[in-house]
Structure 1
Amino acid sequence: MENTNRSVFGIHGVTGMLIATVLLLSILGALTFFGLKAQQAVADKPYKITDPQALKMRDTANANQKVIAK
């Protein structure tokens, strides 16, 4: 059986590989950009603990003790 239907630069060849590589790199770049922006937004708003003496080890009520400082 002879394979006469080969195309190196078809969508399944080199061109397809380049399209997939560019697509994956652009997704990686976008996710990195949005991740850095989210991290910078959170870093600008630290929280402070209202009553440090009221904190208990492994208590779910500890989440009520932190307030975002403005």
Structure 2
Amino acid sequence: MKFTALIRQEGEVFSSLCLELDVASTGATAEEAKSNLIEAIELYLEEATEEEVTTRYQPYSLVAPLEVKVG
């Protein structure tokens, strides 16, 4: 299965979020946060019921740049 990951630095750690499942993790590096997120998703999919996954799953995610006027 393919998912979208949002990874960003928050202070000394990196946070990672699977947008479709709302599953998150962290790591000391961006790559570690990504790897930990994959593991978290796998664990979630192993433990969750089909109904839980269906209820939580959001099939469409879009990450796009925005231009906002200030002032």
How does the TM-score come out when normalised to structure 1?
0.29
Higher normalized strand content (fraction of residues): 2
Greater gyration radius: 1
How does the TM-score come out when normalised to structure 2?
0.29
